[in-house]
Structure 1
Amino acid sequence: MDGARDPRSDETTEQAGKALAASGVAVRAAGADDVVAGVPPRWVALPETAEEIAAVLRVSEEHDLAVVPVGGGTKLHWGAPPSRCDVLLDTCCLNEVVEHEAGDLVVRAQAGLTVEALAEALAAKGQELALDVPVPGTTIGGLVATAIAGPRRFRYGTVRDLLIGITVVLADGTIAHAGGKVVKNVAGYDLGKLFTGSYGTLGVVADATFRLHPLPPSRTWAAASFARPVRSGPGGDASEEASAPEAVRLAGELHAALAAAAGSQAEPVAVELDWPDVTGPATVAVLVEGAASAERADAVRALLGPEARTVGERPGWWGRLPSAPPPSRDGARAETDAGRDEEPPAGRGETLLELRASPSRVAGALAAVHVTALETGTPAAVRGSAPAGVVHVALRADAGRTARFADALRARVEAADGRLVVLSAPPEAADGLDRWGRVGALALMRRVKERFDPGGRMSPGRFVGGI
């Protein structure tokens, strides 16, 4: 894909621009900072209400303009580049808490409100949305569109589990509501679940209603480190043949620790793995919340082994996407850098993968990452909620090695009924990557897309199979 827009005459473009300006919505010319995965839009629309979103989409339908919604812009580089992008619809002006029913533990917030701003508002009433979003600056709309979740998905679930209502604007400008605080329902569809993870390809999220939880009185973390003995090959470096058994052994140890913590009667709310370089040591950290959290964390610590410890403050890497270790100058793995956690997570120069496997097969998936990194010479980092079956893998390598790593790892993961998805990749690596792998429900997803966006104008090409 070259990212080029459909050619249009100057007259057609001028007519579309005038129609957008006449819609009553603030519209400006797009600039260099508005590029979507390498594709520049023509205009940026700044609606302030769901009705103004609808006005923009009606004009877009009339003039066949492709629309890409954006919130904080933190994940615009996720997903495939759009096949075209005429209007970038920015929800930054929809940034209010619409309603907070503290007694019912329910909040309704507009799509452009950041998760951090929502957390601050809820904390004033002793409540929280129990999603540790790993990308700072994520908005409510982006949270729903990408279905991103952090460590406490282990206990509280994901966006789909906590979302109880939604307002969306469809491609033709229809405003639809579903779930909590219902004004109008669209029969036959659970819009909340349908729009969660849709990457803006079905319509625009205007606001969302979530189930909340009380803020816990205390939190305590237990953590333990696990290391793999390094065996040297003939050249002095760790050889693939010698290291593969050690990878399996270390993955087995990690899986045993993760499983023991996950099944603990201390009822942890999160069990996280941090493996900043898959040729080096890894850490398992467990979060316990609520009454007697310190005593319950001590019980978890005993399960993790004699080297485990309990801490009152969360680990610095907690709830963040991994950042890949750079290769050293001689091409071997760089030593773990204590300052790496200060780097921006999942930078745009890295490739970020999401690996999903059944919890019983996590050990095999972790070993597969390790062996694939050795085979391809690709520095890799792993972090995530392994007992929930979801971890993220960050890579920093040239395009060729990145593609070889992704293809080899996907083959191993899919052979064990898992999935590997490329969330983001730098432009030089993106063209050589299969972003989605095997998708069994593609035909159904195409039918849903045709139902909600028959003109193919909402974030075209961003999702699975060019949807």
Structure 2
Amino acid sequence: MAVTTMGGDVVDQSDVAARLGDICGSPFVRRAGPDDAVATTAPDWVVAPGTVGAVAEVLRLAADRDLAVVPRGSGSKLDWGAIPSHVDVVLDTGRLSGIWHHPAGSAAARVGAGTTLRAAQQAVGRTGWRMSLDPPSPSATLGGIVAADEAGPLSHQHGSPCRQVIGVDYVDATGELVRAVPDTADGDELPSLLCGSQGALAVLVSATVRLQPAPASRQWVRRGVATPLEAHDLVSELTETGLHPAAIELDLPPGSPAAARTGRTGSLAVLFEGEPVSTRHRTASAVALLSGDASAADQPPTWWQHYPFAAGDIAIRLDVPPAHLYAAIYALRDAFGAPVAVRGCAGTGLVHAALPGSTAPDRVAGILSTVRTVLAARRGTCVVLTAPAEVRRAIDIWGQVPGLTRLRELKQRFDPRHRLAPGRLTGGL
């Protein structure tokens, strides 16, 4: 049986499958199924190379046969982003797992891209360290987190995953293995370039990540909020006090009659970490500062570290300077005509929102246009992460992309034949 590649060439499917089996081992090559679709695009094969050398061989075969390859970790965000123009091979990194290098006492560890964050945290935690990464995707791999630059609550204090990665090993589109660490010429640039690239520049095989000592104590302060503006005012007070919270998260559920009657339409949660005495002191100070119904707890609220959207929803990411976050939320509410679920990092201005998946495509397009107009003057962006197929095909998921010229240059530099995740990079590159 023959298949047509992204370049229009016809290749013998059995021959490609046999070569992939030689490289990865036949048990680790299979025909793709419905669950392997990449943002609705069906691939032909799924392969799981067990070594870095095998990854390189797969990409050399793809280059020789003009096959399009999309890397995958756990698949938790495989439906995020633009629909790829073509997918021949999904390259599963799950066998590239484990802590590959962590010298005793070192504040950095080299971790295989297919390692789940949970497993990596458990491994470094046994020696008293942690990675300051806590994205809401519970099954996420380190490679997937880096590829999506997926931030969690701890990004308030420690920055995005991009800031936590200080070195990468990757295989480029020609099948060449490249190591970029701080003591190499590209060591300062390449890790940041690959963060958020959706696998469209190279296949990440490992990342060297900063470690911090695991905190001895953690406490949360939670307070009800009635409006986005009230949340903004409270966050402003918190950030001006010198209490140094590790995270400030906001949860605004969609409107409901019960919420309207009580006036309790949202919640602000603040995390403090450190030595027990300092943590208790800062927590007590925050309770007094926030006043109202503020209270302390040893556990986070149930919504902490969870996205506000579910399968079938239209998932939106708002990224705006914190001082303008409330304006972005009001703009989204006004455009939709009702409160929508919003959740995320109030301290950095990066939050996610959910619209019903049943919203008509033309209405979604109008909502996005309105919100993006408001954000344009505030240096903010509004991106659709995922949506039902009919919506995604009818809208511009990115909006105006800052630095699009630079992204085109990077794609040309790393993948001039557009064989890696074609169309998945920001801007649809």
TM-score (norm 2): 0.91
Which residue does 1:380 correspond to in 2?
340
CA shift for structure 1 position 6: 4.6
CA shift for structure 1 position 9: 7.0
Which residue does 2:333 correspond to in 1?
370
Identify the match of residue 318 of structure 1 among 282, 301, 304. 304
CA shift for structure 1 position 218: 0.8
With 5-14 and 90-99 compared, the bigger mean Cα shift is at: 5-14
SS at match of 1:121: helix
Per-residue deviation, residues 112-149 of structure 1 (Å, max 9, x unmatched): 10001111112211211011111110001101100001
RMSD: 2.0
Q: Match for 1:297: what amino acid? A: T
Question: Is the CA contact (8 Å cut-off) linking 1:278 and 1:369 kept in structure 2?
Answer: no
Which residue does 1:37 correspond to in 2?
39
Identify the match of residue 301 of structure 1 among 270, 281, 287. 287
Q: Match for 2:220: what amino acid? A: W
CA shift for structure 1 position 278: 5.3
Question: Is the CA contact (8 Å cut-off) linking 2:11 and 2:65 kept in structure 1?
Answer: no
Which residue does 1:438 correspond to in 2?
400
CA shift for structure 1 position 259: 1.2
CA shift for structure 1 position 199: 0.2
Per-residue deviation, residues 204-232 of structure 1 (Å, max 9, x unmatched): 000001111111111111111022xxxxx
1:409 aligns with 2:371: yes
Which residue does 1:263 correspond to in 2?
240
Partners of 1:456 and 1:201 in 2: CA distance: 8
Which residue does 1:127 correspond to in 2?
129
CA shift for structure 1 position 99: 1.6
Question: Is the CA contact (8 Å cut-off) linking 2:235 and 2:346 kept in structure 1?
Answer: yes
TM-score (norm 1): 0.84
Aligned residues: 413
Partners of 2:428 and 2:383 in 1: CA distance: 15
Question: Is the CA contact (8 Å cut-off) linking 2:162 and 2:191 kept in structure 1?
Answer: yes
With 393-402 and 453-462 compared, the bigger mean Cα shift is at: 393-402
CA shift for structure 1 position 8: 5.9
1:399 aligns with 2:360: yes
Partners of 1:315 and 1:263 in 2: CA distance: 24
Partners of 2:174 and 2:48 in 1: CA distance: 18
Per-residue deviation, residues 240-286 of structure 1 (Å, max 9, x unmatched): xxxxxxxxxx3321101011122232211111111012575111111
Partners of 2:290 and 2:406 in 1: CA distance: 44
Q: Match for 1:91: what amino acid? A: T
Which residue does 1:200 correspond to in 2?
199
Which residue does 1:342 correspond to in 2?
none
Question: Is the CA contact (8 Å cut-off) linking 1:399 and 1:432 kept in structure 2?
Answer: no
Partners of 2:423 and 2:21 in 1: CA distance: 27
Partners of 1:11 and 1:266 in 2: CA distance: 62
Partners of 1:95 and 1:157 in 2: CA distance: 24
Partners of 1:88 and 1:63 in 2: CA distance: 15
Per-residue deviation, residues 318-352 of structure 1 (Å, max 9, x unmatched): 121113xxxxxxxxxxxxxxxxxxxxxxx230111
Which residue does 1:331 correspond to in 2?
none
Partners of 2:186 and 2:296 in 1: CA distance: 50
Question: Is the CA contact (8 Å cut-off) linking 1:145 and 1:196 kept in structure 2?
Answer: yes
Gaps of 5+ in 1: 228-249, 324-346
SS at match of 2:23: coil
Identify the match of residue 82 of structure 2 among 80, 83, 93. 80
Which residue does 2:271 correspond to in 1?
287
Which residue does 2:253 correspond to in 1?
276
Distance 1:5 1:348, change over 3 A: farther
Distance 1:24 1:391, change over 3 A: closer
Per-residue deviation, residues 45-80 of structure 1 (Å, max 9, x unmatched): 111111110000000000000000000000000011
With 289-298 and 51-60 compared, the bigger mean Cα shift is at: 289-298
CA shift for structure 1 position 24: 4.8
Q: Match for 1:391: what amino acid? A: V
SS at match of 1:464: coil
State the percentage of identical aligned residues: 37
CA shift for structure 1 position 187: 4.4
Gaps of 5+ in 2: 260-264
1:352 aligns with 2:325: no
CA shift for structure 1 position 11: 4.9
Which residue does 1:459 correspond to in 2?
421
Question: Is the CA contact (8 Å cut-off) linking 1:111 and 1:205 kept in structure 2?
Answer: yes
Q: Match for 2:340: what amino acid? A: A
SS at match of 1:314: coil
Which residue does 1:53 correspond to in 2?
55
SS at match of 2:220: strand
CA shift for structure 1 position 38: 1.3
Which residue does 1:427 correspond to in 2?
389
Per-residue deviation, residues 271-321 of structure 1 (Å, max 9, x unmatched): 111101257511111111112212211101112122211111111111211
Partners of 2:423 and 2:272 in 1: CA distance: 42
With 279-288 and 209-218 compared, the bigger mean Cα shift is at: 279-288
CA shift for structure 1 position 154: 0.9
Question: Is the CA contact (8 Å cut-off) linking 1:365 and 1:413 kept in structure 2?
Answer: yes
Which residue does 2:262 correspond to in 1?
none
SS at match of 1:145: helix
Partners of 1:81 and 1:370 in 2: CA distance: 27
Partners of 2:173 and 2:230 in 1: CA distance: 50
CA shift for structure 1 position 186: 5.9
Partners of 2:90 and 2:38 in 1: CA distance: 9
Question: Is the CA contact (8 Å cut-off) linking 2:180 and 2:186 kept in structure 1?
Answer: no
Which residue does 2:29 correspond to in 1?
27
SS at match of 1:59: helix
Partners of 1:114 and 1:202 in 2: CA distance: 22
Question: Is the CA contact (8 Å cut-off) linking 1:27 and 1:46 kept in structure 2?
Answer: yes
SS at match of 1:104: coil
Q: Match for 1:21: what amino acid? A: G
Question: Is the CA contact (8 Å cut-off) linking 1:168 and 1:205 kept in structure 2?
Answer: yes
Residue pairs, 1:82-97, within 5 angstroms: 82-97=84-99
With 409-418 and 91-100 compared, the bigger mean Cα shift is at: 409-418
Partners of 2:160 and 2:229 in 1: CA distance: 27
Identify the match of residue 390 of structure 1 among 329, 347, 350. 350
Partners of 1:33 and 1:366 in 2: CA distance: 34
Q: Match for 2:157: what amino acid? A: R
Which residue does 1:209 correspond to in 2?
208
